Copies of this chain bind each other. A is one copy, B any other.
Amino acid sequence: MSIGYMAIERRQQPASIQVCRPPDVVVFPRCVEEVSALAKICYRHNLPIIPFGTGTGLEGGVGALKGGVCFSLRKMDQVLDVHQEDFDVTVEPGVTRKALNSYLRDTGLWFPVDPGADASLCGMAATSASGTNAVHYGTMRENVLNLEVVLADGSVVHTAGKGRRPRKSAAGYNLTNLFVGSEGTLGIITKATLRLYGIPEAVVSAVCSFPSVQAAVDSTVHVLQAGVPIARIEFLDDVMVDACNKFNSLSYPVTPTLFLEFHGTEDSLDEQVRTTEEITSANGGADFQWARDEGTRARLWKARHDAWYAALALRPGCKAYATDVCVPLSRLPHIIVETKEDLIQNGLTGPIAGHVGDGNFHCIMVLDPDDSDEVQRVHQFTERLARRALALEGTCTGEHGVGLGKRALLREEMGPGAMGVMQSLKESLDPKNLMNPGKSRHGTIYRLGYSGYYAYRRNYLAVVLLIG
């Protein structure tokens, strides 16, 4: 058997603050057969397998807690099949969402799930990613039709049957959505068939300021109740707006603000915008601005797009970590107000940005990683925030996943019954616990501080795995 050339990589730099240990080896398979052959070797020798897409995950999902073999999938980067009339495409795991959308440009179709980073699509499937468009287009859970997965023992499985791509199915257990969000702990995703959408004929962006969080959330609820098919509805709190004003020399009122985007035809957008403006106005919204041309739209949304960098600029030289709770919409004002008080009381910097149509929001915690006291306070704040979400019938992670940092919280969220079921599923599909061990929903709870923050950044020389 010959696996052929596999490159050596000197650096793997994942985006997460949680990651603290490099793998022993990085391999760069070029096809599913290589992935399968490599997995078989790992299986035979009991070596942990860590799938790696772009390393843009935020919860340490690619850390090699127990060492082992990192499967970097970037060399499998082909867009395999675009079916324009069927609104679907199949991609290899190295294809990022931006690469796919530029590939699709001439087809009139696009893939809308947008977690911010230019993540790999199979990585997004593995993490159950979503982002700003989810309120209209859904998350990865709703947009994956089929997956090719290599299990720990090297066997290749197609979750909806090989090559199948009906838009809906009631055939057998929904294996596709078992692997979506499994964070590499059940198998290596080597192919994904995704739903596509028509590129909207026109787009309108809008911004509106509110006297309170409650008014912004009420507007969101009313817009959804009115059936406005809004494509994005993003919330920034006053602290974040202030940061954005300073970062980009803007002059938005320093109050809770909604950034909105409408997709549709020219005519339908007029009505969507009109209805939304009426609703925001009835809820005390002010300074409703909207734009249709690309230049003005980009200017209107600049604050939202640059939020991460604006937050970082609040404390030059610091690093950022984004929390990720999600609660029922009606609970948003309560949790946001409490959270802002908590931040103030604990002297922490954490401007808020949220996908308010889904009830999902992030505090962008700006912290000095060398200040162990602050690191500790951020850690405690993050846990309090998650527990607040749990107390309000929400989740500790709306879209970033569990990774390393939220395994204890996951247990609290799910309870022993559901955790027991997850554990059973894990054991039945990966009895040797080789797939991304120590992550997500199983195994011992490691109490990780931020001490290992940049441990992963040290260079290391990966060994070429020779297979003869």
8 A Cβ contacts from A92-125 to B: 108-109
Asked if residues B178 and A174 are in contact (CB atoms below 8 Å), the reply is yes
The digit string for A404-431, where 1 denotes a CB below 8 A from any CB of B, is 0010001001110111111011111100
Q: Which of A17-25, A48-56, A218-226 contacts B (4 or more CB under 8 A)?
A: A218-226
- Cβ of A78 under 8 Å from chain B: no
B residues in contact with A441, CB < 8 Å:
172-173
Interface flag for A373 (CB, 8 Å): no
Q: Is A378 an interface residue (CB 8 A)?
A: no
Q: How far is the CA of A271 from the CA of B157 in the complex (A)?
A: 45
Q: Is A163 engaged at the interface, CB distance under 8 Å to the other chain? A: yes
A residues 419-461 with Cβ under 8 Å of B? 419-422, 424-429, 440-441
State whether B170 touches A198 (Cβ < 8 A): no
Verify if A382 is at the interface (C-beta below 8 Å from B): no
Instruction: Known A165-B393, A166-B359; judge A422-B227 contact (CB<8 A).
Output: no
Whole-angstrom distance between the Cβ of A140 and the nearest chain B Cβ: 9
Bound state CA distance, A155 and B156, in angstroms?
Answer: 33
A167 touches B397 (CB 8 A): no
Q: How far is the CA of A130 from the CA of B263 in the complex (A)?
A: 26
Which residues does chain B contribute within 8 Å of A224, judged by CB atoms? Answer: 87, 198
> How far is it, in angstroms, between the C-alpha of A441 and the C-alpha of B171 when the chains are bound?
9
A158 touches B (CB below 8 Å): yes
A389 nearest CB neighbor, chain B only: B166
Contact A394 B425, CB 8 Å, known A174-B178, A227-B265, A229-B229? no
Interface residues of A in 178-214 (CB under 8 A from B): 178, 180-182, 186, 197-198, 200-201
Q: Cβ of A396 < 8 Å from any Cβ of B?
A: yes
Note all chain B residues with C-beta closer than 8 A to A305.
none
Is A83 close to B, CB under 8 A? yes
A158 & B415 in contact (Cβ 8 Å cutoff): yes
Known: A141-B177, A166-B393. A418 touches B326 (CB 8 A): no
Q: Kindly report which residue of chain B lies nearest to residue A109, judged by CB atoms.
A: B225
> Which of A236-244, A294-302, A327-335, A340-348 makes up part of the contact surface?
A327-335
- Chain B residues lying within 8 Å of A402, measured Cβ to Cβ, are 170-172
CB of A284 closer than 8 Å to a CB of B: no
A329 in contact with B87 given A166-B393, A421-B157 (CB within 8 Å): yes
Least CB separation from A186: chain B residue? B173
Q: Is A277 an interface residue (CB 8 A)?
A: no
The smallest beta-carbon distance between A314 and chain B, in angstroms, is 27
Contact status B171-A399, CB under 8 Å: no
Let me know if B428 and A395 touch, CB within 8 A: no
Do residues B326 and A161 form an inter-chain contact, with CB atoms below 8 A? no
A382 to B58, CA, bound (A): 49
With beta carbons under 8 angstroms apart, the residue of B142, B397, B428 that contacts A142 is B142
CA A141 to CA B268, docked complex, whole Å: 29
- Measured between beta carbons, the chain B residues less than 8 angstroms from A166 are 326-328, 358-360, 389, 393-395, 398
Q: Are B171 and A397 in contact (CB under 8 A)?
A: yes
Which one of B141, B158, B163, B414 lies within 8 Å of A161 (CB-CB)? Answer: B414
Contact present for A178 and B181 (CB under 8 Å): no
A171 touches B410 (CB 8 A): yes
* Nearest neighbor of A228 in chain B, beta-carbon distance: B265
What's the minimum C-beta distance from A102 to chain B, rounded to whole angstroms? 19
Contact between A158 and B395, CB atoms less than 8 A apart: no
The answer to the question of A159 belonging to the interface, with a C-beta cut-off of 8 Å to chain B, is yes
Complexed CA–CA distance, A327 and B393 (Å): 38
- Docked CA distance A214–B87 (Å): 17
Docked Cα-Cα span, A86 to B420, in Å, equals 29
Q: Residue-by-residue, is A359-393 near B (CB-CB < 8 Å gives 1, otherwise 0)?
A: 11000000000000000000000000000011001
14 pairs of residues in contact across A and B, judged by CB atoms under 8 Å:
A85-B330, A86-B329, A86-B330, A155-B420, A158-B414, A166-B358, A166-B359, A168-B399, A172-B418, A174-B181, A175-B422, A201-B226, A227-B264, A268-B272
Given contacts A130-B168, A164-B395, A170-B400, 17 further A-B pairs with CB under 8 A are A128-B169, A129-B170, A130-B170, A139-B168, A158-B415, A160-B414, A160-B418, A161-B390, A167-B329, A171-B395, A171-B406, A171-B410, A171-B414, A227-B263, A267-B271, A268-B268, A425-B428
Kindly list the 8 A-B residue pairs having the minimum CB-CB distance in the complex, ordered from nearest. A428-B428, A86-B328, A157-B417, A85-B330, A177-B177, A128-B170, A166-B326, A169-B395
